[in-house]
Amino acid sequence: MNAEQTLRSRPARTAGGLMILAATAGLVAVVAGKVFGLGGAAGAFETWRPVLYAYVVWCVFLCWGLVLRRGEAGRQLLFILPAILFILAVAVFPTLFGVYIALTDWNLSSFDGPSFNGAANLVRAATDPYFWNAMANMAFYIAAIGAEYAIAFGLALLLNREIRARRFFRIAFLIPFMLSPIAVSWMIGKSMMEFRFGPVSNFARLLGWDNPAFFASPWAARISIEVIDAWMFIPLMTILLLAGLQALPREVGEAADIDGVNAWQKFWKITFPLMLPVSITAIVLRIIFKLKLADIVIAITAGGPGGATDTVTSFIYREYRDRSNVGYGTMLAVIYLIVIIICMTTLLRALRRHRQPLA
């Protein structure tokens, strides 16, 4: 019986393999026709729509062919294969397409379309002082997360104590995080910190600052952007740390009180080590949000003065918007993506290695 089923399944397996092979060959042919302009004369390859249609057909025949080739195992793959194919379509393909665009000379202000220029954009990025200035600014903004973490931890400790209106303060602390960055930029950066009539500027004059121009000098502008961004995101770290503090076992703290441990020793020897997992999570999330910092910079300073407040994201945005340089802007985005992947992978590995002895 098994031999008979095997003989009867051979044509199905063969048909399934040929189906997958033919669909793959068709998809490759369509992609090659678009990338290398093989069908440009026909006009059908002016957009990427044929590639989308070919990919959908390939997905259908791939699923069908796997069922024919593998039987029950192929049917089980159908539960996860659509999700994999969807991720391939919305994540992997755009990344590869971005790499393709990064290797072209494509300016929207020119009537010529994209033309392949190899590593010219990469060489230009390596010698672009404005891009490396934006990278240095990002290093400053990320380093400032240490101060944000210290403030958030102090606020979390305060909110964890038995104080009046504790529930009100917990809710009020989340309000800045719920606001739009653009709204905060105009409300604080363009209004409250305005040089002539802003209330913050007037208060600074009362304190003795004759020329309270928060965004005129490079370091003042850089610190002002950091303060505004920190005001928005410190509440997120505070809530995460507060949740960690409330989850700590009370027996440990009570035992320390019985042993006569003072407040500083209790914090440094007990609370802080136990809060390390939550602290690491809060800091990593904050780094992720910080790496996307752009909207506040664009709305308030547009990267000025002289690129002093530029982040990599805002610089790439202005490369697209102001100079219409799609090829070079995409190369900068690809470089930034690679830097983020390397740095975050290194950080997570270091944190995992540090936590292993504690486990």
Residue 67's pLDDT is 87
User: DSSP 3-state assignment of 197?
Assistant: coil
Residues whose CB is less than 8 angstroms from the CB of residue 311 and which lie 6 or more positions away in sequence, other chains included = 134, 137, 138, 141, 293, 294, 297
Angstrom distance (rounded) from CA 241 to CA 243 = 5
Instruction: Give the pLDDT of residue 341.
Output: 92
Name the token pair of 330.
């995409």
Write the burial class of residue 30 (CB in 10 Å: 0-12 exposed, 13-18 middle, 19+ buried): buried
Per-residue pLDDT of 276-291, as tens digits, reads: 889 999 999 999 999 9
Q: Is the peptide bond before 305 cis (omega within 30 degrees of 0)?
A: yes
pLDDT of amino acid 42: 45
Tokens of 343: 């740095």
Give me the pLDDT at residue 354, please.
66
Tokens of 210: 């004759």
Q: How far apart are CA 155 and CA 241, in angstroms?
A: 9
pLDDT at 359: 42
CB 31 within 8 A of CB 65: no
Per residue of the chain (359 residues), give pLDDT as tens: 444 444 447 788 888 889 999 999 999 998 888 777 654 444 445 677 888 889 999 999 999 988 888 888 888 888 898 889 988 888 888 888 889 889 999 888 877 777 888 889 999 999 999 999 999 999 999 999 999 999 999 999 888 887 777 777 777 878 888 888 888 888 888 888 888 888 888 888 888 888 888 888 899 999 999 999 999 999 999 999 998 988 888 787 777 777 777 878 888 888 888 898 899 999 999 999 999 999 999 999 988 888 889 999 999 999 988 888 999 999 999 999 999 999 999 988 888 776 654 44
Q: Tell me yes or no: is domain 129-355 CATH 1.10.3720.10.
A: yes
User: What's the token pair of residue 181?
Assistant: 């960055």
The predicted structure's pLDDT at residue 91: 86
What pLDDT score does 1 carry? 44
Residue 118's identity, in one-letter code, is G
Question: Would you kindly state where each structural domain of the chain is located, as residue ranges?
Answer: 2-126, 129-355
pLDDT at 142: 95
| Tokens representing residue 12 in the block | 């199905």
Decide: 54 and 30 in contact? Cβ < 8 Å.
Answer: yes
pLDDT given for residue 7 in this prediction: 43
pLDDT at 191: 87
- Which amino acid belongs to residue 195? F
219, 308 Cβ separation under 8 angstroms: yes
CB 319 within 8 A of CB 101: no
Q: What is the CA radius of gyration of the chain?
A: 28
